[in-house]
Amino acid sequence: MLGSIYVLDTSSGEQKSKGFALNNRFAMALGLSMTMNRDQVVAPDLKLGTVKAQTHQNKPVVAARLRNIKPSYFRNMTVDAKITKNGQNDSLYTAKLADGSMAPNSNFNFLIGTNGKAIPAGNYVYHMTVKATGRTWRFTRAFTVSPEQHAKIAGEIGEKPSSQLWYWLIGIAILLLLALVAWLFYLLGKRRREQDENEEDDR
């Protein structure tokens, strides 16, 4: 059981009857950890919850909910996490934590930044390795970013949508090239037919 002794200085300074004034009050908290049996230590048990793309303090991130489901407090926790494309091994985004801690029956969002840009729509895999109290937890979770989620995150951070002009220009150029090739084949076929007809007339 975790708690604290909270001490508040109840004395108040002189207050002015007129004008603007600030009054300070001081307090101190002393943390306490209580147990029924000091020789019996409850080992932590970590679980990975939801993984999703979102914004945090106006920055695009991927948040993974890490949960400690046991009544155990521990320190010296390290976290190593990365995100890959589904079916690939190359890391797209990474994040690390050193000397972390978790309270009993608690959870928090471990964030991986996406380099200041909204993560593109697609299928991804979240990899997380956590080490604490001499144990190691390895989590893998697939997640998907839909085009709607990408657009929502991009709108929240004020990211301008990528221009599709080059794609349209390339597509039009390919269509024109195909039309030109078809027209050339048509002319060659027409000329060959005319030559064949002329040869038959000469006979």
Q: What is the pLDDT of residue 202?
A: 64
Residue 75 structure tokens: 């320190």
Q: What is the pLDDT of residue 34?
A: 76
Count Cβ atoms below 10 Å from residue 143 Cβ, excluding itself. 16
Q: What is the pLDDT of residue 175?
A: 92
pTM over 0.85: no
End-to-end CA distance of the chain: 111
Place of tokens 């000329």: 191
How far apart, in whole angstroms, are the C-alpha atoms of residue 52 and residue 79? 18
- Give pLDDT tens digits for 107-137: 999 999 999 999 999 999 999 999 999 999 9
DSSP 150: H
Domain spans in the chain, listed from the N-terminal domain onward = 2-33, 46-157
Stronger pLDDT, 203 or 149, i.e. the higher one: 149
% the chain with pLDDT above 90: 60
Asked if the 46-157 domain carries CATH number 3.60.150.10, the reply is no
- Give pLDDT tens digits for 180-195: 999 998 888 888 887 7
